[in-house]
Chain A
């Protein structure tokens, strides 16, 4: 059981963005996708999300080829948080979070929605904002609202044993330290509850500290993957990033200036 890509190629306008790329995210695992700009991290995330159909190769959600899953079935397996667009109309915070709810709005589910909404909003520390207009929130608060929406999308009744996956494209961009730590805490907690997490990160130290597994990409290929100790090697990092990178262990720290 996992979400994985198998030997995926993506070619757009004759430019090969991904070469034979295979990665796998297991339930309850946090995988950090790192690499320089243009490495294909976001493209890979979009392939795994099902936004882009690979030119060659396949994507599987729990051994099912996603080509055979309808978009609503995919929505139950994985949710995605990426750079969001501004909202044109004045939805309030609760409206936006509720957009992640996939279980209809009949009487029975309304009750479940009320509970799930409250729990998710408390978890993301936005429950005090529920009736605020989304457009009046700060950037960090808006990010937390979108995270809450992505988490609500993965809500399942306790009786269900389906695996779920959370794909995050640079969720920490423009967050201050406090919110960075809080958001990582929420994500980690999700992983502990069995959700498989793929997170695109730029900060190698955060990745080393936070992820169970690192996938280092460069120019559309996987350079190396494994535990932080295995992947973060000063020679490899130096050649991938083109700046001198030194490591010190216990704890693993990566420095580049």
Chain B
């Protein structure tokens, strides 16, 4: 009996330590890709020079003012999409809940587009200017998630279908609204809008990045403690409630933090598809489905993938750039098809 106990606890700890190992590897991967991404591109800077302090002024300028903000932004966006995807898939108990697919990103995009086109110049140039875009993105994302939740909670197992259909509708509505905004925008506004809807990490500056960074990191810290409740809610809402989970509080926490993270990301980098869908599934395949592991793993993997995708976008056709959304969709959409194929066999 005691031997059995011992072996059971051993198995327990082996399960955890395998997941810890994967997490450590993912962090190394993210850091490694960040180093590669900040030193490569159309303007080469060698790591060795940088470390020895013998980089030229131009090289340091490129690193500090262009590459570093860009790498940090791509890491933040990747992490927030990965984490939000994992948490929403958990909350909705639905493996297809991706911020892009279900219209959350489109809601954020609409919010941001409204600010770009409609808000008066003095507001944008004022002190609250840098916060305006993220705030608009967050409100857009939050209203869509809330609407989705109201609409799908009564549908039980049909929830998957309804959520996707609603996502299609929301995407279309946001598309129309953004189209109208494009039509009425002035030349400068149109320029901003166009660059921004294509999805890019380029041109980000520290004074835009820092407020978004605060919002995204705050949202991620707020979301992560929900890991146990997200596991328990897999038993069903009533069962989770009976186990002492404050289900309403959990929904509020996940929805608000996903909206904040995705909203701020989309506001700064445009719509980037499929990352929130694909990353949690890869993380599950690597180390399991428990949210204690899944949440940090999805965030780290999302960051690493996004940094690498942005590097690809910069070097494939250098000195020009591909839109990042193109690359993530090119990788993500086949994966999405494969996922649907697997759904037919009811395994995730």
Contacts and interface: CB of A to CB of B under 8 A. Distances in A.
Given A82-B239, A95-B289, 17 more contacts: A49-B242, A51-B238, A71-B245, A74-B242, A85-B236, A87-B234, A87-B235, A88-B234, A89-B95, A90-B284, A90-B289, A90-B347, A95-B231, A96-B235, A99-B231, A111-B9, A130-B8
A153 B11 contact: no
Interface stretch (A33-41, A113-121, A189-197): A113-121
B95 A91 contact: no
Given A74-B244, A85-B236, A89-B348, A114 B231 contact: no
Contacts of A53: none
B347 A135 contact: yes
Interface of B: 4-5, 8-9, 11-12, 93-95, 231-232, 234-236, 238-239, 241-246, 284, 289-290, 346-348
B112 to A, nearest CB: 32
5 contacts: A50-B242, A71-B246, A74-B244, A79-B243, A85-B235
B290 A95 contact: yes
A91 B289 contact: yes
A151 to B, nearest CB: 13
A140 B341 CA distance: 29
A90 B246 contact: no
A74 B240 CA distance: 12
A117 B17 CA distance: 19
B8 A114 contact: yes
A228 interface: no
Contact of A114 (B9, B346, B347): B9
Contacts of B284: 89-90
Contacts of A84: 235-236, 239
B243 A153 contact: yes
Contacts, number: 80
B12 A114 contact: yes
A206 interface: no
Nearest to B245: A71
A110 B347 contact: no
B232 to A, nearest CB: 5
Given A95-B290, A118-B5, A118-B8, A88 B244 contact: no
Contacts of B245: 71
Nearest to B95: A88
Which 3 residue pairs across A and B have the least CB separation, nearest first?
A75-B244, A72-B244, A114-B9
B5 A102 contact: no
A102 B348 CA distance: 28
B249 to A, nearest CB: 10
A83 B25 CA distance: 41
A76 B244 CA distance: 9
A44 to B, nearest CB: 15
A118 B2 CA distance: 10
A51 B245 CA distance: 12
Nearest to B348: A89
A23 to B, nearest CB: 19
A158 to B, nearest CB: 16
Contacts of B289: 89-91, 95
A167 to B, nearest CB: 9
A242 to B, nearest CB: 31
Interface string A146-159: 00010001000000
A80 B243 CA distance: 9
A100 B244 CA distance: 10
A61 B4 CA distance: 36
Contacts of A95: 231, 289-290
B242 A75 contact: yes
Nearest to A113: B12
Contacts of B236: 84-85
Contacts of A50: 242
A131 interface: yes
Nearest to A78: B242
Contacts of A117: 8
B232 A90 contact: no
Contacts of B241: 51, 71
A118 B239 CA distance: 22
Nearest to A114: B9
A218 B94 CA distance: 39
Contacts of A135: 346-347
Interface in A119-156: 127, 130-131, 135, 149, 153
